[in-house]
Structure 1
Amino acid sequence: MRGSLWTAPEVRDSIAPINGLRFAMSRRRIGQESFKFGDRRGTRGSSLDDLATIIDWAPVEHALSNISNAAKGEPAWPPLALFKAMLLSVWYDLSDVKLAEALDDRASFRRFCGFSASEPTPERTAFVRFRKALVERALDKVLFDAITTQLKTKAITVKTGTLVDATIIASASEGDGDARWVKHKGKAAVHGFKAHVGADAETALVEEVAITPANVNDGKAGPDALPDNPGEVFADSAYQGNHFGDAVRAKGGTPRIVVTGMWGRDEAETLRRLDAWNQPIHRVRGRIEKIFGTWKRSYGLRRMRWRGLAKAGVQVRLTAIAYNFKRTISIVAAAT
C-alpha cells in the first residue's frame, strides 16, 4: 500500500531515525512460547539466573534500540538478546561458532538471552554483524557506563580509593596496523594493545577503561582510566610525573604513586623512608593484578579476537562488563 510500511505479525517493528528519515526495522519476537525447561523446583538454578536479575536491562535495551543486525531480507534478532549472548561468550570463553552451538543447546543460555525452549537461535554471522554495529556506533563505552553505573550502586558503599594500572594484550595478528610492538626488560616483545584500567580500591569493581596501542606510556594514558572523585589513587612508578598527578588532583583525588628514589644524607634512613612510602601502595595496588588475571585466565583476554583498535575496545569493555557482573554478584552474596 502506497505511503505505508507493513511487516509480518510475527516480527516486531522498531522505528529508528536515520538522517532525518524514519524506517521500520523488522525484528524477530523471541520468548513467546512457554519456557519449557523442566521443573526446577527443589533444584539449584543456574548462576545465570542471578546475573539476569541483578540490573534493570531497560537502559541497555534503549542504548541498543537503533541497531539493525539483520541479514538482507531477514528480520533482525533483538539486539538485547545478542548483547547478552556476547556476555556469555566472555564468561565461557567461546568463539562465535561455539557460542551459536551452545545457545542452541543449553537451556540456561536460552533463558538468559530470552529464548524459549524450541525456537531457533542466532547463527554465527548474527554475532559478527552485531559486533560490527557496536563498533560503528561506538556503543561499547555507552554500554559499559550504563551497566557499571547500576552495578556500582549495589557494590560500592563509600568511595575511598582507586587502583590504576595497565595490561598488555597480544593482537589477533602481527598484521594488525593499529597494534604496536612493546618490549619490557626481561620479557619477550609483544605486538598488541594496552588496556588501562581504573578500579575501586575496596571492591575491585572496574570503573573506567581506556584502550591504546601497546607502546603508549602508562602515565600518558592513565588520566583516561580515572573515574570521577577517585579518592586516593594507587599506581606504580610508571605513573610518576605531573601529567598523571595533575589529572588525579583535577578530579578531586590524591595521588599515591610508587617512587623509585628519594633524597637523603643517610642511605639507610633514606631507604627506610622509601620502603615506608612504597610498601602500603604495593599492598593496595596489587589487587588489580587479580582483575587482569581473571580476564586472561578465565575470560579469554590473552589475545585479541579481532583486528583494529575499535574492535579491541569492544572486546576489552565486554570483558570488563562481564567481570563486573560476576564481581558484583560475589560482593552482594558476601554482604547477605
Structure 2
Amino acid sequence: MSKRSALRPDLFAGQRRESKLDRLGDPLIALNKHIDFAALAAEVDRIAPRPESAQGGRPPYPTETMVRILVVKRLHNLSDEQVEFQINDRLSFQRFCGLQQSATIPDRTTVWTFENRIGADAARAVFEAVQVQLQRRGYLARCGQIIDATLVPAPRQHIDKEDKAALEKGEEPDWTPAQKRQRDTDASWTKKHGKSHFGYKLSASVDAKHKLIRKIETGTASEHDSQHFDAVIDAGNTGSAVYADRGYPSQEREAALKARGLKPMIQRKAQRNRELPERQKQRNRRIATVRARVEHVFGAIAQMGGKLLRTIGQARADFAMTMMAVCYNLKRLTHLESVRSTGK
C-alpha cells in the first residue's frame, strides 16, 4: 500500500479509532461498564450542591462529568494542568468523561474549583456510595479484615529555625500571603525503618476475601498507627478475625475486640532483650500470610501513579487520600468483575 493511500482522509476515522480502542481493551470502558457514576454524582450534589449564580454566563459542566475527571486524574496521578492537557489530547479520556462532542473541555481552574467545592465530606460520601455498589454486586466484606496504615508523602517544607520555633509556640511566622499558601503546617514528620518521612497517613480496613477497602481514616504522618485502629474496624465484615502487624498489640485492644465478638489476630512483638518463643513466631508467620494482602492494596495505590500529594493542608490531603481509596476500589471492582465473567 502506498503512503498516499495509507494517509488518505477518512470521514469515519474517529469511529474506527474508537472501535480499535475497544479491541485493544480500553480499561476505562470496563470502569464505565461496572460503575454507576450517576449515583456517585448524586451523592456529590447531595453533600455539596452546585452554587447558583445570578450573573449568568457559561453553564457548569455536569457533576458526573467532573467526577469522572477526578477519577481519571487520580488513576493516573495527574496535576490539574496535566489532566487538562491529557483530556484534550486523549480520545479515551474524552470518551470516558463524555466530552467527545463537547465544544469545550474543563480547564485546570474548573477542576481545581470543583475539588474545592466538594471537599473531603463529599469524597467520603462517594467512598460510601461505592461501598453500596460493591454490596449490590455481591462483594460483601468476608473472611475477616486486615488493618494497616501507609504513609502518604507531601512536598517537603523548608522552614528555618526561627519560623519553626514560632510554629511550635502556636504563633504565626512573619510570612507573606504567597509564602503562607506554599507552607504546609498541617503535615508532620515521622521516622520509619530509620528513614524520615514528611506528610500524612492513610489507615484502612481491607477485607481478606476480595481485598477491597471497607473503612478509612486519615491523619498526619506523626500520628501512631494505633490511633486509627478503632476508627477503621469494619462491623459489617462477616468474618470475626482482625489481622494486624506488630505495631498494634496491646492487652486492652485485644480485650476490646473480644468483647465485640471479634478474634484478634495481631502479631506479637518481642520485648527488649527477649526473643519471641517459637510458638509466637509461628503464629506471627500464619498471620503474615493473610496480612500481606493489605500490602497488595497499598502497592496497587502506588502503581496508580504514586501516593505523593500535590496539595497543601490537611483538608485537601484528606480529600486526596479518600479519592485514592475510592479509585482503588473502582479499579479493583472492575478486576473482580472481569474474573467473574471469564471464570479465571
Aligned residue among 3, 15, 32 for 1:38: 15
SS at match of 2:305: coil
TM-score where L is the length of structure 1: 0.79
Partner of 1:165: 148
RMSD: 2.6
Paired residues for 1:65-80 under 5 Å: 65=45, 66-68=48-50, 73-80=57-64
Gaps of 5+ in 1: 1-34
Deviation sequence 1:233-266 (CA, Å, 0-9, x none) = 110111112554355446543210001249xxxx
Paired residue type of 1:309: Q
Q: Which stretch of structure 1 is more off in the superposition, 57-66 or 138-147?
A: 57-66
Partner of 2:77: 93
Partner of 1:245: 254
Deviation sequence 1:125-165 (CA, Å, 0-9, x none) = 01111111122x72111111111221244362561111110
Paired residue type of 2:184: D
Does residue 184 of structure 2 align to residue 181 of structure 1? no
Partner of 1:115: 99
| Runs of 4+ that moved beyond 6 A | 69-72
SS at match of 1:194: strand
Classify 1:162/1:36 alpha carbon distance in 2 versus 1 (closer, same or farther; 3 Å).
farther
CA drift at 1:69: 7.0
Q: Could you tell me how far apart the structure 2 residues matched to 1:36 and 1:225 are? A: 50
The answer to which structure has the higher helix fraction is 2
Partner of 1:130: 114
Classify 1:309/1:103 alpha carbon distance in 2 versus 1 (closer, same or farther; 3 Å).
same
Q: Which stretch of structure 1 is more off in the superposition, 222-231 or 286-295?
A: 222-231
Partner of 1:50: 30
Paired residue type of 2:50: S
Does residue 201 of structure 2 align to residue 194 of structure 1? yes
Classify 1:158/1:87 alpha carbon distance in 2 versus 1 (closer, same or farther; 3 Å).
closer
The answer to which structure has the higher strand fraction is 1
Paired residues for 1:1-336 under 5 Å: 37-39=14-16, 40-41=18-19, 43-44=22-23, 45-65=25-45, 66-68=48-50, 73-135=57-119, 138-154=121-137, 156-157=139-140, 159-174=142-157, 175-184=183-192, 186-230=193-237, 231-242=240-251, 244-245=253-254, 248-249=257-258, 252-261=261-270, 271-301=277-307, 303-336=308-341
Paired residue type of 2:90: R
Paired-residue identity, %: 26
SS at match of 1:138: helix
SS at match of 2:277: helix
Classify 1:158/1:97 alpha carbon distance in 2 versus 1 (closer, same or farther; 3 Å).
closer
Q: Which stretch of structure 1 is more off in the superposition, 38-47 or 323-332?
A: 38-47
Deviation sequence 1:140-197 (CA, Å, 0-9, x none) = 111111112212443625611111100111223423111111113x422112111101
Classify 1:60/1:226 alpha carbon distance in 2 versus 1 (closer, same or farther; 3 Å).
same
Q: Could you tell me how far apart the structure 1 residues matched to 2:231 and 2:199 are? A: 19
Query: Could you say which structure has the greater relative contact order, defined with CA pairs below 8 angstroms and 6 or more residues apart?
Result: 2
Q: Could you tell me how far apart the structure 1 residues matched to 2:236 and 2:138 are? A: 17
Classify 1:41/1:125 alpha carbon distance in 2 versus 1 (closer, same or farther; 3 Å).
closer
Q: Could you tell me how far apart the structure 1 residues matched to 2:215 and 2:263 are? A: 17
Matched length: 294
Paired residue type of 2:189: W
